[in-house]
Chains A and B, each alone.
Chain A
Amino acid sequence: MRLADTLGFAWQVVRGSPGRTLLILLAMGIGVAAVVAVSSIGEGARLYVVNQFGSLGTHLVIVLPGRSETAGSMPGVLIGKTPRDLTLEDALALKRSPAVRRLAPLIVGAGDVRVGARSRETPVLGSTAELMDIRHMEMAQGQFLPPGDPRHSQPVCVVGAKVAAELFGARRALGEWLRIGDRRFRVVGVLASQGESLGFNTDEIVIVPLAAAQALFNTEALFRVLVEAKSREQIAYAQSDIEEILRERHDGKREVTVVTQDAVLATFDRILRALTLAVGGLAAISLAVAGILIMNVMLISVTQRRHEIGLLKALGATGLNIRLIFLSEAVLLALGGAALGLTVGKLGQLFIGQLFPSIPFTAPWWAVIAAPLTAIATAVLFSVAPARRAARLDPVRALSKR
């Protein structure tokens, strides 16, 4: 029997019982659609996180005080004694590296911010003018911190949009004074609303010059140094330069951790990829359910079509012919189900995309390939038993009315 004729015959069967066909198409379709939709949600989340990191600043290298083998463990704990602080002079020394374009030292604390009778506890960041470019911050009004020697400071500050609204109400914040602890700062700029980045909601912070923050929190120790490499290729050089310079300054001891944005990103990337794979795999279980349904329907079909199978044998069909007819039937159904599923999955993805426009939902290529292949594989796998049963039918008995 020719392949085209086998497929043609199977096609006639599939068309001949639309109810049964529809049922299987639905089961297969739901399975494939689930895999595509679920994995595209996972992939969307991954891309969203990656983009968020991208918005942190492009070629970012972060210097943390204390040594740790991985970015995740607690710095300092392993060594047993408190390491020496990371200071402003350390940070300024990093400018010696040719791979470094600019850097921003960072001090973080919580401050009681007051304007007249109104008061609010907010995170206070001490940094320099470079922070704006490194973190890609944008101003709604006014200027960022003025450039200049970070060792000395002017009594100015930049406030987040929400902080400005809470402290000044409808009044214009720009040019007004506010108090943090016992110090007064003039508002020179209001940050544009940007949302979360690197653990801070920029709407809810106050940024003051580094020296002012040192005085406010009575510390020389830096929380972080954000360093921007000159290019993507220079990140590795910047990293080793930084380690080298700081080791030199700290009497040959490695007392800092240098994290590149790539490393953090790669970790998130791995976690979210694994998650996507896991949920995609869970959805694929529904394909196995669909496969069992196909097997049931096929077994019923073998019983219902006993006469036809007996007839085909009487007309000269071999066992192989019969098996191939049943398998092609399953493959046709699976192909139809896969096509339906891919379409529905794609529509579902577009629909969720409409609901959450900021998240880039896309079905990963492996899901688009694996889902229909799994559908076809399960269909074939689960039709082997029914097809064998059909091929083994005794034609005399199958044809008799008994």
Chain B
Amino acid sequence: MIRLSGIERVFRVGEEEVHALRGVNLEIARGEYLSLMGPSGSGKSTLLNVIGLLDRPNAGRYALDGRDVTGLDDDALSRVRREKIGFVFQFFHLVARLTAEQNIELPMVLAGIDPAERRTRLARLLAEYGLEARARHRPDQLSGGQCQRVAIARAMSMRPTVILADEPTGNLDRHTGQEVMAVLEGVHHAGGTVMVVTHDGEIGARAHRRLRMVDGAIVSDERGAGGGHGGT
């Protein structure tokens, strides 16, 4: 479903070149639950952005759902992104002036889905993520955990191929973090593909496939065990 080969990403800062990704090869199958760990600056976010089509590699090839997306232009990338990718961020990134339901609806609005269809999907998402009572609240009236649930519901609204979460618990306390992970694992149980970047070893250990990056390269790729089915 996702196939990366020889991905390089080089940032140029003044005279210096920063190699954020060095020849990354990675294959992800439908329904996998992955974690990505590694020291700060090892290139985790950069890899996630490349997979999420927010960033373009300097070299290498990327095939998504059997289609080579390496050479697509910005607008084509945007269209693929809104069909196939769901992002969850550390700082939630909700639009402050919009209500919870308006935030959840946003990808469907951008995709031009008609309002009737939007309403039915929205009702289902609100029920699924336990947000019915908070639908009309604005982000500043929601707790961090609720905000992240809104963000996950938003990421799921277009039924994407993969959910990419960059430190989704990084801004939450332990308990709320566990709750949010449970929500993401729920997505995985429903058949979704989930990839989580985290600094929390305990959270990373719950995934069925655990990647480790150092200095722009994937240095380990473990499968099996994990605590995805209800925790350790």
Contacts and interface: CB of A to CB of B under 8 A. Distances in A.
- Place the interface of chain B in its size category: 20 to 34
Interface string B108-130: 01111010000000000000000
B82 A395 contact: no
B112 A315 contact: no
B74 A319 contact: yes
Interface stretch (A116-124, A283-291, A304-312, A367-375): A304-312
A64 B166 CA distance: 94
Contact of B95 (A2, A311, A318, A396): A311
B208 interface: no
Given A13-B97, A396-B54, A315 B106 contact: yes
A201 B8 CA distance: 93
B223 interface: no
A271 interface: no
B95 A308 contact: yes
B83 interface: yes
B38 interface: no
Nearest to B90: A401
A321 B110 contact: yes
Contact of A317 (B91, B102, B110, B158): B110
Contacts of B154: 315
A12 B97 contact: yes
A316 B91 contact: no
Nearest to A307: B93
A335 to B, nearest CB: 20
A314 interface: yes
A315 to B, nearest CB: 5
B78 A317 contact: yes
Interface residues of A, number: 24
Contact of B112 (A2, A311, A314, A395): A2
A312 B81 CA distance: 11
Contacts of B25: none
Contact of A12 (B54, B74, B98): B98
A223 interface: no
B56 to A, nearest CB: 10
Interface string A1-34: 1100100010011001000000000000000000
A59 interface: no
B75 A319 contact: yes
A399 B89 contact: yes
B62 to A, nearest CB: 16
Given A315-B106, A395-B54, A396-B49, A320 B111 contact: no
A67 interface: no
16 contacts: A1-B109, A1-B111, A2-B109, A12-B98, A16-B97, A314-B87, A314-B93, A315-B106, A315-B107, A315-B154, A316-B79, A316-B85, A316-B110, A317-B78, A396-B54, A401-B91
Given A1-B110, A312-B106, 7 more contacts: A2-B112, A5-B109, A13-B97, A16-B97, A316-B78, A317-B110, A319-B74
